[in-house]
């Protein structure tokens, strides 16, 4: 949707005279009303201010783009105002705002405001375009500059996109790809974007399916698979593979999709990628022949982690909220359950949280032994959680916890592989009894015996020792633990070290070690914020494209999405990774030293209301980010020419 289709001359003010941010927004709403897009002014106005409370829309460079998606909007619209003398809009760069665009979007699933916001932000990156808008003398001239910029910027892109779409429609895509990471939040989409961008540069057509946390998007069709030359599977968790039978398939890490897109696409087009042959079954996943045992184990673990995280995050935040709303009962036995609302939140959260170990073990087992292993794996997780033992009375059972569930998941998976191997010679008339009778019976019997007699006793003792050791740690030991965990969150930005520290933090919540989770979360928040500070205050050390990610990195860091640091680390690892590790280690150590704690396993700044000793948590975060910034600035020299 073109900007000039939404922006009417009645909604343009070229000599805005406002003194405050609130006055500016009110003036913008009035301009929007003149365009005839609003059916309830007050509801829309509240929506704009509510969005502003989430974070300023003053994006820097003298620009603000407030927006609201509301039932009060009849049709998408834009309003614009030039403020010659500038207004303090609380912008991210603390500079006055001279150019304001207001977006109105109806409350539909189309998310028009995001499309307009993206299109508008792209245009406003051009300095000459902004200067033209600021010097426009009439609304018609203002609209003319917008129209000209849109034609120059998007016309060629739209033409090429149509040509590529038509080519793909008639001849099929040359390359198909699937991207997936354990959390399905950042790496998944960054790999997809990297592959799409590089394919466009190389002049080939590609379609990428993303297996994200919100479900599979852009799913590959049977016709597209049949017509393509090669398929790239860049994933750190299991991906359905049976559909690719008979096609060349290149399986690699999701990090390669981000950092090595040209290499992957070149190999995909070379004709040398081996053809994938399915062993049969819809549940067949991306563990292919030739893959190392370590890689298979890692992907199986990440399959369990990725399915576990929604239960942990959702449940953990609800439990934390139950304590927040039940502050009057703090210190009592009823804390967290003292009011009906608190009891509801606590019950719902604990129900979800209690599924952590069964889901982890179940989906690890499924990744190893396919669908028949799911049930034994879930039972292994339940037995690890309960600590069942036939040697002790029930009141003396010791849960083997996270480590028991981890071991139980892999054992259940490989146990099912063994059972299937042993039953291969079963007479054909009995083949149908395998999935409905023999697999469930033998799997349940075997894993129950292994967990109760072999796993729970030693790992239960180890789990008890570990929890007691963590609880009894002195101040210096906790600070050291904070250094290690915080630093691990920044070694590989969402890779194995990062995930190991995060899973340890979430498992610690179950045993009441909330300070560990706080150190882990702050360690993951620090790198993007530190990089954003460096690009804000030391612009001469970064290219123009790197500086354009500043706002995104602030948002990702505050949201506890460490992956915002990946593009910088990939392009200059020796000058980015060490400062990030040191900054995260400092933040983790300070969080431990200040006694901060988090019952929520995710959320970053958005769960600050339920962080224990929140003020000092913020101090630790700022300190770690500043250390990161200083380290980067000391290692990176100013660019000779601004790129």
Q: What is the DSSP string of 181-221?
A: -SSSSSHHHHHHHHHHHHHHHHT--EEEEEEETTEEESPPP
Report the alpha-carbon distance of residue 303 to residue 283 in Å, rounded: 13
Structure tokens at 569: 């680390």
Q: Within this chain, do residues 45 and 69 fall inside the same structural domain, yes or no?
A: yes
Q: What is the mean pLDDT of residues 248-263?
A: 88
Report the alpha-carbon distance of residue 306 to residue 518 in Å, rounded: 20
Q: What is the mean pLDDT of residues 241-255?
A: 88
pLDDT value of position 481? 92
Q: What is the mean pLDDT of residues 386-400?
A: 73
Over 90: is that where the pLDDT of 617 sits?
yes
Q: What is the mean pLDDT of residues 475-481?
A: 86
Given CA atoms 37, 38, 39, 44 in this order, what sign does their dihedral have? positive
The domain boundary residue, chosen from 408, 437, 469: 469
More confident residue, 599 or 170: 599
Instruction: Look up tokens 């290692």; give the residue.
Output: 635
Q: Within this chain, do residues 30 and 144 fall inside the same structural domain, yes or no?
A: yes
Cβ atoms within 10 Å, residue 395: 5
pLDDT value of position 114? 67
Whole-model pTM? 0.57
Cα pseudo-dihedral 557, 562, 568, 570, rounded to 10: -170
Helix spans in 511-613 (H): 514-537, 544-547, 550-558, 566-571, 573-593
Burial class (CB in 10 A: 0-12, 13-18, 19+), 342: buried
Structure tokens at 166: 């038509």
Highest mean pLDDT among 31-35, 72-76, 428-432: 31-35
Buried b (16+ CB within 10 A) or exposed e, 237-256: bbbbbeebeebbbbbbbbbb
Task: Look at residue 419 and tell me if it is in a domain.
Answer: yes
pLDDT value of position 235? 87
Task: Look at residue 164 and tell me if it is in a domain.
Answer: no
Q: Within this chain, do residues 196 and 86 fall inside the same structural domain, yes or no?
A: no
Query: What string of H, E and C letters represents the secondary structure of 390-414?
Result: CCCCHHHCCCCHHHHHHHHHHHHHH
Structure tokens at 541: 């050390």
Over 50: is that where the pLDDT of 614 sits?
yes
Burial class (CB in 10 A: 0-12, 13-18, 19+), 430: exposed
Q: Within this chain, do residues 329 and 461 fall inside the same structural domain, yes or no?
A: yes
Q: Within this chain, do residues 192 and 312 fall inside the same structural domain, yes or no?
A: no
Report the alpha-carbon distance of residue 48 to residue 347 in Å, rounded: 35
The residues near 593 (Cβ < 8 Å, ≥ 6 apart) are 475, 478, 479, 482
pLDDT class for 209, splitting at 50, 70, 90?
Answer: very high
Structure tokens at 378: 């879930």
Instruction: Look up tokens 């106005």; give the residue.
Output: 45
Burial class (CB in 10 A: 0-12, 13-18, 19+), 638: exposed
| CB 484 within 8 Å of CB 419 | no
| CB 174 within 8 Å of CB 206 | yes
The domain boundary residue, chosen from 442, 469, 496: 469
Report the alpha-carbon distance of residue 447 to residue 413 in Å, rounded: 10
Report the alpha-carbon distance of residue 462 to residue 400 in Å, rounded: 8
Burial class (CB in 10 A: 0-12, 13-18, 19+), 354: middle
Task: Look at residue 279 and tell me if it is in a domain.
Answer: no
CATH value at residue 132 = 3.40.930.10
Distance of CA 274 to the CA centre of its chain: 32
Q: What's the count of helices (H) and strands (E) in the chain, helices before strands?
A: 26, 13
The domain boundary residue, chosen from 91, 125, 159: 159
Report the alpha-carbon distance of residue 101 to residue 67 in Å, rounded: 8
Report the alpha-carbon distance of residue 618 to residue 624 in Å, rounded: 10
Task: Look at residue 373 and tell me if it is in a domain.
Answer: yes
The CA distances from residue 88 to 51, 60, 96, 120, 338, in Å, are: 18, 11, 5, 21, 45
More confident residue, 54 or 1: 54
Helix spans in 326-400 (H): 340-353, 356-369, 374-386
Helix (H, G, I), strand (E, B) or coil at 251: strand
Cβ atoms within 10 Å, residue 289: 9
Report the alpha-carbon distance of residue 314 to residue 308 in Å, rounded: 10
Task: Look at residue 360 and tell me if it is in a domain.
Answer: yes
As for how many domains the chain has, the answer is: 4
Q: Within this chain, do residues 600 and 623 fall inside the same structural domain, yes or no?
A: yes
CATH value at residue 216 = 3.40.50.2300
Q: Within this chain, do residues 465 and 479 fall inside the same structural domain, yes or no?
A: no
| CB 224 within 8 Å of CB 173 | yes
| CB 22 within 8 Å of CB 100 | no
pLDDT value of position 155? 67
Percentage of the chain modeled with pLDDT above 90: 40
Task: Look at residue 278 and tell me if it is in a domain.
Answer: no
Task: Look at residue 361 and tell me if it is in a domain.
Answer: yes
What is the domain range of residue 439?
A: 293-469
Diameter of the chain by CA atoms? Answer: 88
Cβ atoms within 10 Å, residue 135: 13
Task: Look at residue 640 and tell me if it is in a domain.
Answer: no
pLDDT digits (tens, 9 = 90+) for 53-67: 888 888 888 999 998
**67 is an active site residue:** yes
Query: What residues does 25 pair with on adjacent strands?
Result: none
| CB 52 within 8 Å of CB 66 | yes
Q: Within this chain, do residues 124 and 238 fall inside the same structural domain, yes or no?
A: no
pLDDT value of position 430? 82
The CA distances from residue 545 to 126, 131, 261, 549, in Å, are: 12, 20, 18, 7
pLDDT digits (tens, 9 = 90+) for 285-341: 555 445 567 777 877 888 888 888 888 888 888 888 888 888 777 767 787 888 999
Distance of CA 422 to the CA centre of its chain: 42
**230 is an active site residue:** no
pLDDT value of position 483? 94
pLDDT digits (tens, 9 = 90+) for 86-145: 999 988 888 899 999 999 988 876 666 667 777 787 788 788 888 999 999 999 999 999
DSSP string covering 88-117: ----TT-PPEEEEEEEEEESSTT-HHHHHH
Mean pLDDT of the chain: 86
Q: Within this chain, do residues 614 and 542 fall inside the same structural domain, yes or no?
A: yes
Over 70: is that where the pLDDT of 168 sits?
no
Of residues 98, 181, 187, 596, which has the active-site annotation? Answer: 181
More confident residue, 160 or 325: 325
Helix (H, G, I), strand (E, B) or coil at 80: strand
pLDDT value of position 282? 46
Burial class (CB in 10 A: 0-12, 13-18, 19+), 592: buried
Residues constituting the chain = 643
From 497, 479, 477, select the one nearest 577 (Cα to Cα). Answer: 497
Q: Within this chain, do residues 567 and 599 fall inside the same structural domain, yes or no?
A: yes
pLDDT class for 643, splitting at 50, 70, 90?
Answer: very low
Query: What residues does 178 pair with on adjacent strands?
Result: 209, 233
Report the alpha-carbon distance of residue 517 to residue 510 in Å, rounded: 10
Report the alpha-carbon distance of residue 426 to residue 409 in Å, rounded: 26
Instruction: Look up tokens 């101090």; give the residue.
Output: 619
Over 60: is that where the pLDDT of 284 sits?
no
pLDDT digits (tens, 9 = 90+) for 10-45: 999 999 999 999 999 999 999 999 988 898 999 999
pLDDT digits (tens, 9 = 90+) for 495-516: 778 888 888 888 888 778 899 9
Q: Within this chain, do residues 453 and 342 fall inside the same structural domain, yes or no?
A: yes
pLDDT value of position 169? 54
Structure tokens at 155: 């016309």
Over 90: is that where the pLDDT of 181 sits?
no
Q: Within this chain, do residues 217 and 142 fall inside the same structural domain, yes or no?
A: no
More confident residue, 374 or 304: 374
């Amino acid at each position: 949707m073109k900007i000039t289709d939404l922006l009417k001359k009645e909604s343009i003010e070229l000599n805005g005279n406002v003194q405050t941010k609130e006055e500016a927004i009110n003036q913008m709403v009035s301009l929007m009303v003149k365009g005839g897009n609003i059916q309830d002014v007050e509801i829309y106005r509240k929506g704009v201010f509510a969005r502003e409370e989430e974070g300023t829309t003053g994006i820097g460079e003298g620009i603000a783009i407030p927006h609201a998606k509301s039932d009060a909007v009849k049709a998408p619209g834009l309003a614009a105002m030039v403020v010659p003398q500038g207004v303090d809009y609380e912008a991210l760069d603390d500079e006055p705002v001279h150019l304001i665009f207001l977006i109105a979007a109806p409350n539909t699933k189309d998310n028009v405001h995001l499309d307009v916001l993206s299109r508008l932000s792209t245009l406003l990156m051009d300095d000459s375009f902004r200067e033209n808008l600021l010097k426009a003398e009439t609304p018609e001239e203002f609209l003319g500059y917008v129209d000209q910029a849109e034609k120059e910027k998007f016309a060629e892109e739209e033409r090429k996109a149509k040509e590529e779409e038509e080519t793909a429609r008639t001849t099929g895509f040359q390359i198909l790809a699937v991207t997936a990471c354990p959390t399905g939040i950042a790496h998944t989409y960054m790999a997809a974007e990297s592959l799409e961008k590089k394919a466009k540069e190389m002049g080939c057509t590609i379609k990428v399916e993303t297996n994200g946390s919100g479900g599979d998007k852009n799913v590959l069709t049977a016709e597209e698979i049949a017509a393509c030359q090669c398929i790239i599977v860049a994933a750190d968790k299991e991906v359905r593979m049976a559909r690719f039978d008979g096609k060349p398939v290149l399986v690699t890490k999701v990090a390669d999709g981000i950092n090595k897109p040209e290499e992957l696409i070149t190999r995909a087009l070379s004709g040398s990628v081996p053809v994938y042959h399915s062993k049969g079954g819809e549940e067949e996943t991306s563990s292919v022949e030739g893959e190392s045992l370590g890689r298979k184990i890692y992907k199986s673990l990440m399959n369990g982690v990725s399915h576990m995280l929604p239960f942990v995050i959702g449940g953990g935040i609800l439990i934390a909220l139950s304590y927040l709303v039940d502050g009057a009962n703090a210190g009592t036995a009823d804390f967290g359950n003292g009011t009906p609302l608190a009891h509801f939140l606590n019950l719902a959260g604990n129900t979800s949280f209690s599924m952590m170990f069964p889901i982890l073990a179940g989906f690890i087992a499924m990744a190893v032994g396919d669908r028949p292993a799911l049930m034994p794996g879930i039972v292994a997780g339940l037995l690890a959680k309960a600590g069942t033992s036939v040697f002790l009375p029930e009141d003396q059972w010791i849960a083997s916890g996270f480590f028991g569930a981890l071991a139980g998941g892999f054992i259940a998976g490989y146990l099912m592989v063994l059972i299937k191997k042993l039953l291969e010679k079963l007479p054909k008339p009995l083949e149908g009894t395998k999935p409905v009778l023999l697999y469930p019976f033998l799997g349940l019997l075997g894993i129950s015996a292994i967990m109760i007699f072999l796993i729970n006793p030693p790992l239960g003792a180890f789990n008890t020792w570990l929890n007691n050791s963590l609880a009894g740690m002195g101040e210096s030991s906790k600070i050291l633990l904070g250094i290690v965990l915080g630093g691990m969150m920044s070694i590989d930005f969402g890779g194995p070290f990062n995930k190991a520290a995060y899973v340890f933090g979430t498992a610690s919540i179950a045993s009441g070690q909330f300070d560990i989770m706080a150190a882990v979360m702050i360690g993951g928040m620090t790198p993007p914020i530190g990089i954003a500070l460096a690009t804000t205050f030391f612009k001469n050390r970064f290219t123009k494209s790197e500086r354009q990610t500043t706002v995104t990195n602030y948002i990702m860091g505050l949201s506890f999405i460490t992956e915002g640091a990946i593009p910088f680390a990939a392009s200059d690892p020796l000058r980015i990774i060490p400062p990030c590790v040191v900054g995260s280690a400092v933040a983790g150590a300070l969080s431990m030293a200040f006694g901060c704690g988090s019952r929520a396993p995710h959320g970053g700044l958005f769960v600050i209301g339920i962080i224990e000793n929140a003020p000092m948590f913020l101090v630790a975060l700022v300190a770690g980010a500043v250390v990161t910034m200083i380290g980067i600035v000391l290692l990176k020299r100013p660019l000779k020419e601004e790129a």
